Amino acid sequence: MKPELQPNKIVVLSGSGVSAESGLPTFRDSDGLWKTYSWQEVASPEGWKLRPEAVLDFYNERRLKAWQASPNAAHLAIASLEAAYEVVVITQNVDELHERAGSRNVIHVHGQLAYARGTSEARKRYRIDGSPITMGQLCEDGTQLRPDIVWFGEEVEFFEVARHHVATATRVLVVGTSLSVFPVASLVKVARGRAEKVLVAFEVEKRPYGYSFLQGKATEVLPGLAGRWLREAAEHTHA
């Protein structure tokens, strides 16, 4: 039996295209990070075993750049929806730009740069904000700290929680993602037939069934969309 739709709930599925407009490089675009770096070397358990220093250097640089970046108009538009709706942001991004824009309920399915964790089964996490992780920096259980990032070959986090949120949302907004990274891309199909479903992107190979497509930059499209949804909420309140 499908869960009940929650009439005041918006779920946002966001990807690296949103952060790109704050100056953070994407991973998969023509000028993305995987054109410069080998993900096998810096974003896999095997790469970590072979050259942990290189992995730490890669993520220390990502963390520094993320901390120097500022939320953009798209992040702020998403956060503004909380004035009238329950908003859940499910993001593939590992930066904190949604939180820094004011979003209070953010689910990071690919981990967070702001945290380090030990490498034992206990997976103890530590908030490090913009600080680097160095070799020899140990968890309290004696293991080397690593970025709290989901690498290739590791399971995404909070997936079932994310599925439930999408299945109960009356509005689903997909923004800044190529819909090519699975299993997260499959979440678009969980949205209900009665939900209003919107995809915001420059281009997409195949528009998911039932989604309206707003073409353009997230920073240019989202403020208008958020404004419309906020007006609709106000009209509903006064009806």
Amino acid at 153: G
Burial of 195 (0-12, 13-18, 19+ CB in 10 A): buried
Nearest-angstrom CA–CA distance, 17 and 174: 11
Q: Which two tokens stand for residue 74?
A: 């798209």
Query: What gap in Å lies between CA 36 and CA 67, rounded to an integer?
Result: 21
Cβ pair 56, 133 in contact under 8 A:
yes
Q: Tell me the H-state helices in 6-94.
A: 16-20, 33-36, 39-42, 45-50, 52-68, 73-80
52, 68, 128, 238 from 146: Cα distances, Å = 9, 21, 11, 51
108 catalytically annotated = no
What's the one-letter identity of residue 195? A
End-to-end CA distance of the chain: 32
Catalytic residue among 75, 98, 110, 165: 110
Assigned token pair, 44: 């896999």
Q: Which residues are catalytic?
A: 110
